[in-house]
Structure 1
Amino acid sequence: MNCIQIPIFFMRVICPYVPLLSSLLLWRCGPFQMGDWLKWALVSVVQFVIGKRFYVAAGRALRNGSTNMDVLVALGTSASYFYSVCALLYGAVTGFQSPTYFETSSMLITFVLLGKYLECLAKGKTSDAIKKLVELAPATALLVVKDKGGRCIGEREIDSLLIQPSDTLKVLPGTKVPADGVVVWGSSYINESMVTGESVPVLKEVSSSVIGGTMNLHGALHIKATKVGSDAVLSQIISLVETAQMSKAPIQKFADYVASIFVPIVVGLSLVTFFSWYISGILGAYPEEWLPKNGTYFVFSLMFSISVVVIACPCALGLATPTAVMVATGVGANNGVLIKGGEALERAQKIKYVIFDKTGTLTQGKASVTDAKVFTGMGRGEFLRWVASAEASSEHPLAKAIVEYARHYHFFDEPSATSQTPSRESTVSGWLLDVSDFLALPGRGVKCFVDGKQVLVGNRKLMTESGIAIPDQVEHFVVKLEESAKTGVLVAFDDKIIGVLGIADPLKREAAVVIEGLLKMGVKPVMVTGDNWRTARAVAKEVGIQDVRAEVMPAGKADVIRLFQKDGSIVSMVGDGINDSPALAAADIGMAIGAGTDIAIEAADYVLMRNNLEDVITAIDLSRKTFTRIRLNYIFAMAYNVIAIPIAAGALFPSLGIMLPPWVAGACMALSSVSVVCSSLLLRRYRKPRLTTILEITAE
C-alpha cells in the first residue's frame, strides 16, 4: 500500500490548523515554499516509484496496440502531476501563485492500489476450496515395515511426500488416509465427504479402494498405496480446480472487447469535457465565481477532464466474469462437482438435452444374477462353471456379476450331467476352466475357447452374427426377462444355445425424481444404451424417460450425440467415464459420474465425484445461477459508468453544484470494482437443490 500518502494527507488536512507546522510549511526556501518542496518530493516518489507499475503496464498495452485501465490511470495521474509541476514553476518565475494538485495525483494512485488490494482480498476468498483441498492431505504417514518374506516387523512414521507406490501404510482410527490405495487388511467406515461430497460414511473392507485425504472413522486399516503425488485423486482435483479458475469463459471475450474500445472512447470524452468547459468559460457561458480560488478556466476544465478519465476505468467490467467463475468453480468443488473451466461452465447453462447411459448411471452399476436357466441336460453347477470361466477375463460389469454368482454357487457337490463337459481335473484357479483365444466384442459379449471348445456368452446380436439359431422357448424366456427390466444373457456351447442368465441392475433411488426435475428445468432427458430394446424401454418407463435409443455400440453413442447437435442444441452426456469416453468427448458437456477416474477427468468437462444423479441437476443449476450473476455484474458495471461519467464531467454542477474532484472519482472507481467482486462472492452462499425440492426448480 501507499504509506507516503499519510504525510501528504497530514500536510493538507492537519498542518494548516497547527500554527508552528503551518508557518514551517509556508517558510520560503529558494523559489518555493517548504510545503511545495515536500509535496513535490513525496508525490514524485508516489508517481514514479509506487506508480511505476501503471506506466509499465500502460506502455506494454500501447505497444501491443490495445488499451486498458492502466492507460487511464497513467493519463489521469500524469495530467494532475505535470500540471502541478508546471503551475509551481510558473509561479516561481512570474510570482503568480496558481493552485497545485499534487494531492490529487497521489490520492488517485492510493485509491487505485487500495481497490486492487481489496480485490485481492475478495478474490482470495474464492480460492478457499483449493486451500481446503490442500489441507486435506496429511503431513505424515505410518509406514508398515516388512521383511523379505513379507511379514510385518515394525512401523515407522514418514513424511507423506516420501510415500511410494506399493508401500503398505497403517491408518489409525481418527486419522486421514495418506494416499490413494487399496485396503489389504482390516475394515472401517471412511468419511469421504471432503472429497466426494457424500456425507454418509462408506464401508471399506479388503480390496476396497480408498482416497487420500479422507478420514478413517473406526477401525485400523492397512492399505497398499497405488497412486501418489500428482497421480492421486486429490492432486488431480486441486489441479482441475486451479485450471478452471484461471480459464476464461467465452463471455469474457466480450468484456475484453468492450474494454479495448471503451478506453479510447473515455479519452475522447475526457477531451470533449475539457474543451467544452474551457471554451464555455472563455466565452463567458458561466460566471468566474465557479472557479476555485486563484484558479483559471484551464485548471477548472482540467479537473473535470481528469475525473472523467479516472472514474471511467473499466476495472469492474474486467472483473465481472473471472471473479464469478472463480467462485463458482470453488463452490462446485465443495459440492463434489468438478468443473474443467469457464467455457464448460458457460455452456452448461444452455443444455437442451441430457443423454444418460444406463448401466452405472441410471442404475446402481451393481448388477446381480437373478435367473439362471439351462435348456439342455447340463447341470446348473457345470453350466455356471463354463460361463464363469468364459467371463472371468472380461471387465464388463455384467461379466463380474456372473463370475460372482457362480463363485457363490456350490456346484462342486452337483454331479456332472453330461459326458460333453470337461472333467474336474482340468480346472485351474481352484474351480475355473482353462480359457484360450478370449475375445471381447463390445456391445455383443465374449467369445472364447474353454478346454478347446468354443463358448459364446452375450446377446442376440452375437448369436445371430455367429449363425446360431435361437429356439422359441429360449426366445420366450429372454423376452420375459427383458419385460421385467432385466438383461438376458445367452450362452452357447459348440454352436448350440444351452442356457440363459437373467441379470438385474437396480435403478438408483433418485433417478426418477432427477429425470422429472430436468423436465421441469426445460431439459429433455434421453437414454442411450447398448442393451436390447425391451429392457431399455422398461428401464426408461420406470424413470420417466420418453426418448430411448437402444442396442447402440459404444462408438455409436457419439453418433447419437451428433444427431442431437445438428440443430445447434447444446447436448450433455452423462456416463461412467470409461466405456462412455468417446461420447463424453463428443458431447458439448461431458459429465462423468463416479469417483473421478483418469479417463473421466480426461474426457469429461464435469466430473461428478459422487455416484449420484442429483449432481447433474447441481451442475446445470450452478451454471445458470453463475451466469445470472455475471450478467448482473455487467449490468451493474455498465450502469455505473453510464451514471458516473456525466456526473464526473460536471453535468450536475450548474444546477446542483455537485463536482467530483479527481481523488473522489478515484475512490468511486475503486469501490465499483470491489462491489462487483463482492457481488460475485454472493455465489458462495449457493446451496445445491435438494432431492425434495428439485421438482420446484423452473427454467430461468
Structure 2
Amino acid sequence: MAPSRSRDVQLTSIAGAEDDDAGDLEEVRLLDSYDSRDGIDDGGMRRIQVRVTGMTCAACSTSVESALCAVDGVITASVALLQNKADVVFNPALVKDEDIKNAIEDAGFEAEILPEPSTTGKMPHGTLVGQFIIGGMTCAACVNSVEGILRDLPGIKRAVVALATSLGEVEYDPSVIGKDDIVNAIEDAGFEGSFVQSSEQDKVVFEVVGVYSLIDTQVLEGVLGSIKGVRQFRFDQISGQLDIVFDPEVLSPRYLVDGIEGGSNGKFKLRVRNPYTRMASKDVEESSTMFRLFMSSLLLSIPLFFMKLVCPHIPMIYSLLLRRCGPFLMGDWLKWGLVSIIQFVIGKRFYIAATRALKNGSTNMDVLVAVGTTASYAYSVCALLYGALTGFRAPVYFETSAMLITFVLLGKYLECLAKGKTSDAIKKLVELAPATALLIIKDKGGRSIEEKEIDSLLIQPGDMLKVLPGTKIPADGIVTWGSSYVNESMVTGEAVPVQKEVNASVIGGTINLHGVLHIQATKVGSDTVLSQIISLVETAQMSKAPIQKFADYVSILALELHHSNFPLFQIIIKLFLFCQYAYALSQIFPDKTLFISLLSWLYKGGMTMLCS
C-alpha cells in the first residue's frame, strides 16, 4: 500500500489576485453586485442591503420589489435574483430597517438585514460557508434533527439541509469550530457526513496521472515537501486523488500544478477536480451500491418466496423440503441459511446506522428496520429450536424479514435515482463551462511569447486568454483584442449572436462563433455568472416552501404526541394491542367456549387498564 499522509482536505475556489477589473464588466441586472456606497446617501436618504431567501424566478424578484416600493418612505428598491439581495434606498425619518424586513417577509420570503459593506470584501466576522454531504436521511424529521444539531453547535451561524440532494449548507466561524467537528457532529447523530467544499481559499483537490508505483509515490511526496507553502497533503494511489492544504498568501493552485509537473520533469499530470463532479460520482457510486444490494437480496428472497407459496403445490419438491436433516427439516435449513445472509450481510448497513442513532439517543428508519427484521428473525430461530427440543413445530417467519429488507433496499435504490435526477440540473450547468483554456504568456515588455493550455479552474483574475472560433469562453472578462460574434443564449435566451469588440464584456460558458478573441479574465470561480446561476439552483433546491415547513411542523408534533403520555394516543395504542392479543388467542385455543371465557376475562382487565 502506498504511503500517505491522512488528512482531510476540501476543494475550494481558486486563489488568485484581487479582482481589480471587476468593475469593468457591464452590469448585469440579474447579477447586480451593487455599488459600494456609504450607508447615508445625499439628502439624508439611507441605503441598506437585505438578503432575501426563497426567490426562485424573476416573478419572485418582481414581487419583492413591488412589496418594497409599496412601503411609505422607500425611494427605490432593486433586487438581484442570483445574489439573493435587495438594495433599498429609503427615508429613515419615515421607515425603519425592521419595516423593510417585515415587508419582505409579508410577501412570503425570508429577509435578513446585511451589515454595512466592508472594505476588505470578506464575510462578516470571518465566517465561512461550507457544503456537506449528509447520508442516511429518510424524512423531514431527519432533516430537522440534523439542522437542530448543527445550529446548536458553537460557532454555527446558519445551517440549512436539503433532503432531495442530501446536502447541508453551514455558515460557521472557523476560529470556533472546524469542518471536522461539523462532520463528527453529523456522524454522532447517526448519519453519514462528508465535506464537499467551502468559501475558504486554501485547499484544492487534484487528479494525478503518472503515478504507477511506490517509487512514483515517493517522488511525488518529495516534490510536495520541497514546495514552500504546502501545509498538508494526502495522496490515494488507487483513485489517483491528491488533496493539498496550502498557504494562499504564498501559493496558488496554478503554481502548485507548475511546481509538481516541473519537479517531476513532466512525468506527472495534474487536473483540478470539480466539487460538483465529485458529488455526481458519489451519487452514481451510491446508486450502484444500492442496486447491487437490492439485487442480491432479491435473488436470495425469491427461493424463500418459492418455498412458501409454490412448493406446497409441487409434491415432489415439497417432499424434499419436508425431509428431516438432523434436528430440522431440509426446508428450515435452507430458509435459515438464506435469511441469515440477507439479515447480517446485506442488511449490515441497517445495524450500523441504527447503532449510531441509538448511541446519540435518537431513532430513525434504520432503527425501525433493524428492530423489526431482528424480531422476525429471532422469533423464527427460537421457534425452530423450540420445535427441535419439544417436537412441537411452530410456524416461522423467515421470509418476512427477508422481504422487508428487500423492499426497503428497493426504496433506497429508487431514492438514489430520484436524488440523481435532482442533481442533473446542476451537472448540466457545470458541463457548460469548458474544461481547459488557452493561457497567453507575455514577457516583461507585454509581448506574447507562448500559449499554454491550462485547466479552466486554474484561471486567475487578470489572465490573458485566447478564445478560438467554435470554442467556449472559459471565464468572465473583457475583450482586449479581436472581433467576433458570441452566442449568449445560455444566459439571455436570445438566439441571435452578439457582436463583441475591444472593451466588450463576455460571459464564461458562452460560445465564440467566428473570429479569434483575446480576453482578460475579470471574474473567476464563484464570482462568474455561471457559478451564480448554479448557486441559484442550489438555493432553490435547499429552500422550503411555507406549506412544506408547516407539514414538517405537523409531522414533528405528531411524533412528539406519539412519544408523550397524551391520553388519546395511549388509548388507541392499548386498544390496538388488546385486539392483537385477542386474535392471537383465537388462533391458539381450538375450543371456542374456552376462548370466549378467557376473552371476557381479558375484556374486564382491559377496561381497567384503559381507565387507569
Q: TM-score, normalised by structure 1?
A: 0.37
Higher helix share: 1
Larger Cα-atom Rg:
1
Q: TM-score, normalised by structure 2?
A: 0.42
